[in-house]
Amino acid sequence: MALEYVFKLQEFHPNACKIGENGICGFCSKISLLNTDIQRLQRALKILVDERRSLLDGYANQMHSAIYRIPPELLIRIFTLYAEDEHDSYLKAEYNSQANKPNLYPKGYTRPSRATSLTLSAVCKRWREVSFATPMLWTAPVVTIKPRPSRIQDELLTEWLDRSCNLPLDVSVFCLYKTDTSAINLIGRIIVQQAPRLARLDLNLPPNRCQDILNRLEGAQGLEELRLHPVETSEEYCRNRTLSLPVLPALRTLWINHAVNFNKTEFPALVTCDLGRLDMKDIVEILVHAPNLEQCAFSNVRCIHDQASPLRHAHLRKLDISSPTVDFMTVLLGILTLPSLQSIKFSVFNSQERSTTEPFENVFASFLYRSQCLLQEVELSGNSKDLSQETLMRRSAGQK
């Protein structure tokens, strides 16, 4: 008979078989019974192996720390909160370093990580699997551009952004002193490709490089926060270089420490702004074209008193101005009407004599009467000889 048997990768071809009553020869019958026993034992062995593995896993869970028994869902939440805190702490430390603020950290303090997701993934296999499988941990890259173009840095940033899937991005970019222009352009090109996903953008680059990226952000319809801190490589060049902003309909927070040409740019969703190096025209522009603005801070205001028409802003609740003289604030409050104002702060950092003839306290009183606002906070700081905190408080109390 032409029967073929395969057992453990070995072929058996019987030359002659004596067929029994059941149609199978005695030798073939024994082989069949042995195959049946082997299959039964293999199933039993698999059951025993699975039971042994379960017992070992249970014992390991009892012996390990409780952190190893945290469910993946809770672990993802912890990782996300930790990554957000480390990200914010790193940016704060970086800005303090750039501003030459003293280091107040205790001895032995470890600086926050700018690559928290990689730090978490290096702890153990389970944490690595959770980190790599959680797109939320890869949505806030902090990039410090190297002085020379780096293919590895470009590839790492691209892979980092790919791991974030299609979630909104929070991108922060810093550059070292005398960074090569081509290195900045490479990183800028990668960021611009992700413009539709940008929710927050933080640029710490030379003014011309910032402008190059801004010019290509027209597609960033979801950008809600923009922070620009241009690196001043040349004082004269940076002083004469003004930035222009694109149309950003979803922008809610704006922070710029540089001269800006607003050029009648509309900010329909803007709620908070912190701007520096302004003059009267710039302040009027931002108030006119940001109808929903609630909080604003103007610092390093230049004493250029352009003629401006009276302006009423219905939603502004908090106003913080830092100016060389009281003279500028006298002119500004002379044209403003702010019915929703709750907090106003003045900082005068120069004791120059005023050029206006009308005392500031009279202008301030007229402003309060005209606005009919319910001030809850009035603060004056600086070294002005023309104004005192007591005068402001007395005038504000007199209008209630």
DSSP string, 152-213: HHHHHHHHHHHHTTTS-EEEEEEE-TT--HHHHHHHHHHHHHTGGGEEEEEEES-HHHHHHH
Distance, CA of 227 to CA of 200 (rounded, Å): 8
The reported pLDDT for the residue numbered 254 is 93
- Give me the DSSP letters along 326-367: HHHHHHHHHHEE-TT--EEEEEE---PPP--SS-HHHHHHHH
The two three-digit tokens of residue 277, written as one number: 């190096």
Which structure tokens are listed for 396? Answer: 């504000």
pLDDT score recorded for residue 13: 47
User: Which class for 392: exposed (0-12), middle (13-18), buried (19 or more C-beta within 10 A)?
Assistant: buried
The closest of 347, 345, 339 to 323, measured between CA atoms, is: 347
- Per-residue pLDDT, 6: 44
For the chain, count helices (H), then strands (E). Answer: 12, 16
CA angle 146–150–155, rounded 5-degree value: 120
Hey, what are 261's tokens? Answer: 């040409």
Q: Domain residue spans in the chain?
A: 70-101+111-137, 139-397
What does the pLDDT read at residue 72? 84
Structure tokens at 375: 């001030």
Give the per-residue pLDDT at 10: 43
Q: What is the pLDDT of residue 358?
A: 64
Give how far the C-alpha of residue 66 lies from the chain's centroid of Cα atoms, to the nearest Å. Answer: 32
CA 212-215-217 angle, to 5 degrees, is 115
Q: pTM of the full predicted structure?
A: 0.72
CA distance 379 to 347: 8
Which pLDDT does position 88 carry in this prediction?
Answer: 85
250 DSSP 8-state letter: T
- Report phi then psi at 305, rounded to 5: -95, 85
pLDDT at 11: 46
145 DSSP β-pair partners: 175
Instruction: Tell me how far apart the alpha carbons of residues 279 and 350 are, in angstroms, rounded to a whole number.
Output: 16
The string of pLDDT tens digits covering residues 151-181 is 787 788 888 888 988 899 998 988 876 767 7
**CA dist., res. 280 & res. 239, Å (int):** 17
In whole angstroms, how far apart are CA 176 and each of 103, 181, 186, 226?
20, 11, 15, 21
> Are 352 and 330 in contact, with CB atoms under 8 Å apart?
no
CB–CB of 326/352 below 8 Å? no
Question: pLDDT tens string for the chain (400 positions)?
Answer: 334 444 443 445 455 555 555 556 777 778 888 899 999 999 999 999 999 988 887 776 666 666 677 888 888 999 999 888 888 888 887 776 665 555 555 555 566 777 888 888 888 888 888 889 889 989 988 888 877 767 787 788 888 888 988 899 998 988 876 767 787 888 888 888 888 889 999 998 888 888 888 888 876 888 999 999 887 655 444 455 788 888 888 999 999 888 888 877 889 999 999 988 888 888 888 898 999 999 999 887 776 656 678 889 999 999 998 887 777 788 888 888 999 999 988 887 765 555 555 677 788 888 888 888 888 888 877 655 555 556 555 555 555 5
